Amino acid sequence: MATAAAAAPRPTAASVPSERARDLRLDFFRGLGLILIFIDHVPDNPISNYTLISIAFCDATELFVFISGYTAALVFVGLARRAGTPFATAQVLRRCWTLYVAHIFLFVIFTAQVAWTVERLANPMFAEEMNVTGFLREPHIAVLQALSLQFQPTYMNILPLYILLMLGLAVSLAGLRWWKLLIVVGAVGPYVAVQLADLNLPTYPDGHWYFNPFAWQLLFNAGALLGVLFEVEKRDWSPPSWLVPAAAAFVVGASALRIAVNEGWLSGAAVQAIWQIADKTDMGPLRLLNFAALAIVAVALAPRDAAWVHAPWLRPIIVCGQNGLNVFCVGIFLTVIGHALVVEINPGLAPQILVTIVGTVAQIAVAYYLEWLKGRGRAAAAGGGGA
């Protein structure tokens, strides 16, 4: 099963003028993506019938990758302009190390959860569902493969992608500043190669990356380029009058087509043809266009000065977005518990809804706890320290 979620790089006090200058739309959509990911991962969850995964040919994965690229450019390209490209590159690599440590830590917790559940429920099928059979069979090899990002259990395939994308940013940082056309060519070329030749990386024991990095880097780099143009270089651009209506029409048409696929209204050959151009692993063209259209409509409905972003009832989502990596890790932990509860113990409607509510509230609670810690830390620093 696909997963998606994690946090884009967080601006530091040295990288942004002030908290007031922060574009809360980025935090809102990132937090929304984290919550949608958890909802979509609850098996047979009726609420997921109303999320992007059921009404579009894209989902929170695209949202995460695009915002990650956009925010990474905002932070690190801006830092490169102030402190130099070598220092900014070192900070990108530092972020990669943080993500890598988080991935390994999460892998240990994840496999321990699954192993304990398999033993307690006496159901080896759960290990197969979570794709950790290789670990239980030969853990010494599986751990080494996990360290090299080649062993990717279910729900554990987004952080390896994100690590590779950030490593790519470390290489392309100078290009984003001075040679943007080179970045465009370097992003489009591998994507086209994937669509024509099915290029991908292997995984342990005998698979391939669920999120093909050669394809998904296109969306990350597109976000990075737009982040440089609009946030770092402050470029002004007014879309042509036809763009937003055309994007809205595409979104409506794609939703109608997705519903027709879900309801079985199309022939098998038609459905197969659609999924060939909407493949998630290789980010098919239909998937890419669907997300682009959604992004255009979202920006039109949520301009930078939109008052609704500051609404108190949206604050929990924004706080989740501002603490994305930690919230994501908690979400994976809760997903394994929820999966075991819903599939292996009680597959009824009530447990599905209960798991969704409790898991979402837990993610929000963790985010607010982390915000409280940061607030206390800032207060202590402003006061010159403390006990």
Q: What is the mean pLDDT of the chain?
A: 89
Task: Evaluate whether 63 touches 34 at the Cβ level (below 8 Å).
Answer: no
Q: If pLDDT is split at 50, 70 and 90, which confidence band does 357 have?
A: very high
Among the listed ranges 14-18, 27-31, 188-192, 315-319, which one has the minimum average pLDDT value? Answer: 14-18
Average pLDDT value for residue range 217-232: 95
> 101: exposed, middle or buried (C-beta count within 10 Å: 0-12, 13-18, 19+)?
exposed
Q: If pLDDT is split at 50, 70 and 90, which confidence band does 385 have?
A: low
pLDDT score of 176 more than 50: yes
Task: Evaluate whether 165 touches 213 at the Cβ level (below 8 Å).
Answer: yes
pLDDT at 221: 97
pLDDT at 348: 80
pLDDT score of 386 more than 60: no
Q: Which residues contact 250 (CB under 8 A, 6 or more apart)?
A: 289, 290, 293
C-alpha to C-alpha distance for 339 and 341, rounded to whole angstroms: 5
Calculate what percentage of the chain has a pLDDT beyond 70: 94
**Which residue, among 359, 32, 8, has the nearest Cα to 159 in the 3D structure?**
8
Q: What is the DSSP string of 34-80?
A: HHHHHHHHSTT-GGGGGSHHHHSS--HHHHHHHHHHHHHIIIIIHHH
Q: If pLDDT is split at 50, 70 and 90, which confidence band does 352 have?
A: confident
What Rg value do the Cα atoms of the chain yield, rounded?
A: 21
pLDDT at 10: 45
pLDDT in tens, 88-99: 999 999 999 999
Q: Please count the CA atoms within 13 angstroms of the CA of 52 that sit on its side-chain side.
A: 22
pLDDT in tens, 298-342: 999 988 878 888 899 999 999 999 999 999 999 999 998 888 888
Angle between helices 60-72 and 285-301 (to 10 degrees): 70
DSSP H/E element including 372: helix 349-382
pLDDT at 42: 84
Average pLDDT value for residue range 379-386: 70
pLDDT score of 12 more than 50: no
pLDDT at 16: 39
Calculate what percentage of the chain has a pLDDT beyond 90: 70
pLDDT at 172: 94
pLDDT in tens, 47-89: 888 999 999 999 999 999 999 999 999 999 999 999 999 999 9
Phi, psi (deg, nearest 5) at residue 202: -80, 155
